[in-house]
Structure formats: structure tokens, C-alpha cells
Amino acid sequence: MHKVLDILQKRMSTRIPFDSERPVAKEDLRQILEAGRWAPTAHNMQNFEIIVVDDKKILDTMGKIRSTVSETFIQENYHQLSFSEEELQKKKVGILGTMFPLAWRTPGYKPDKDTDLARPIQTSPVMLIVVYDPERRAPASEGDFLGIVSLGCMMENMWLMANSLGIHFHVVSAISADPVEKEVKRILNIPDRLKIPFAFRLGYPVSTPAKYLRVRRDVEDFTHHNRYGNRGLD
């Protein structure tokens, strides 16, 4: 039990470049996929397909795709930022502003077409592209809420397995943006009816990832006993 909790607490996202000359072993990749296979999904629909991409030419082509950063993202992201470790430790939610460009930490900043709207998609020695069919929704699940939760369960299973094997993991959400998704679907021959909610980068970083402060609310901060408002378990 303590080992599971330890893996949960040490889970991390690695956003820096991965070593292109150090592949992920096939047996490790299979274990990561096996973890995804056993993820809980609504009505056991197993509502996902995964495209494993390790062809360098394909990865190089995908790496030339430019993603965009919207003004909405920058503005809404700003409200999640703390500007010191002391502030973050006090708030217990959100992230440090130093994780983002200085300009993004300025109230009212509008993205610049040259610096913010031309970011290449990050790749790695192996990428896992997740696709799902939005027409196969969970029964009576408006907006397929349960189906989306299922995709999150699959992501978490694979993330934890990767980290437990010493393999670094990064969720690439920019791949779901319309222009990027369209290009990726063309490159990988993905049918139009399918959607790409996210992709995973797997591998080993070219340098030691920087340590950053990770915070969580205390159990007593989000637990209500018997009735809402009765904080904690006492």
C-alpha cells in the first residue's frame, strides 16, 4: 500500500526534450500499454485506440507542426499562478509562475503571433497518440462525461506505470487543437470521425529535470464528513 502511495506522490511530468538516441525498451512499452488496458472505463467500453509512433521520419514530420497558444489560455492560466514558493505553499493549489514565459505572467498580456503562436509540437523517441470515437458515448452520459473520465483513468494508469519503470512521461494536450489534430490525422491516416484528446511523450530527458515545488491540499481541506461543510473526518 505504501509503495503505491509513494509512486503516486513521485509521479511527475517531464516537459524538457528527450534523448532521441535512447529508445524505450519494447518490454517496458508493453507494460505501459498493459497498464492502460486495465484502466476502468465506463460500461467497460474501453473507448480508446492507441497509435504507437517510433518511426523517426514520422516523428520528425510531426515535430514540424506548429501549435498555437490562445489568448484565453494565457488569461485563464494567469489566475492559477503563484509568484513565489511561499504563496504557492499557502494557496496549496495552482502552479509557480516561473514555469511560464515572463510575458505570460503579465496581467492582460495578449499573445504575440511571432513568439507565442509558432511553438513546435514536442516529440520523443516514442509517442503514443490516443484516439477515440465520440459517437460511442457511455449510456445516458451527456457530453460523454463518463467516456472522458475513462480516458483520464487510462492516462493515469499508463503514467504511473511509466514513472514506476523510470521512464519519463509528458502529456501533449496541444495535439487536440483543431489545426494540429487535422495535420496529425493526415500524417497517421486517422479516420475523420475519430478525435485525438491527447498524446504521450515517453523517454529519457537529455538533462536532469529541474525540481519544482509540488503542492496539494490537505485531506481536511477537501473532505466533508456526512454533510457538506463538516470538514475533516472527526
* Domain with 155 in it: 2-68+119-205
**pLDDT given at position 173:** 93
Report if residue 230 sits inside a domain.
Answer: no
Same domain, 57 and 130: yes
Q: Which residues contact 202 (CB under 8 A, 6 or more apart)?
A: 18, 24, 29, 32, 124, 125, 126, 127, 128, 162, 167, 168, 169
**pLDDT given at position 1:** 56
Q: Model-level pTM?
A: 0.92
Same domain, 128 and 107: no
- Split into its structural domains, the chain has a count of 2
**pLDDT given at position 222:** 95
Same domain, 23 and 76: no
**pLDDT given at position 117:** 58
Q: What angle do CA 173, 100, 87 make, to 5 degrees?
A: 115
Same domain, 13 and 106: no
Same domain, 162 and 182: yes
Q: What burial letters (b/e) apply to 163-201, b meaning 16+ CB within 10 Å?
A: bbbebbbbbbebbeeeebbebbbeeeebeeeeebbbbbb
**pLDDT given at position 115:** 66
C-alpha cell at 83: 509568484
Report if residue 78 sits inside a domain.
Answer: yes
Report if residue 158 sits inside a domain.
Answer: yes
User: Alpha helix (H) ranges present in the chain?
Assistant: 2-10, 26-37, 56-62, 71-78, 85-91, 145-164, 178-188, 219-222
Report if residue 133 sits inside a domain.
Answer: yes
CATH number at residue 38: 3.40.109.10
**pLDDT given at position 137:** 87
Same domain, 74 and 147: no
Q: How far apart are CA 231 and CA 176, in angstroms?
A: 38
Q: What is the pLDDT along the chain (234 residues), one digit of tens a residue?
A: 568 899 999 999 999 999 999 999 999 999 999 999 999 999 999 999 999 999 999 999 999 998 888 888 889 999 999 999 999 999 999 999 998 888 888 888 888 766 665 678 899 999 999 999 998 888 988 889 999 999 999 999 999 999 999 999 999 999 999 899 999 999 999 999 999 999 999 999 999 988 888 999 999 999 999 999 999 887
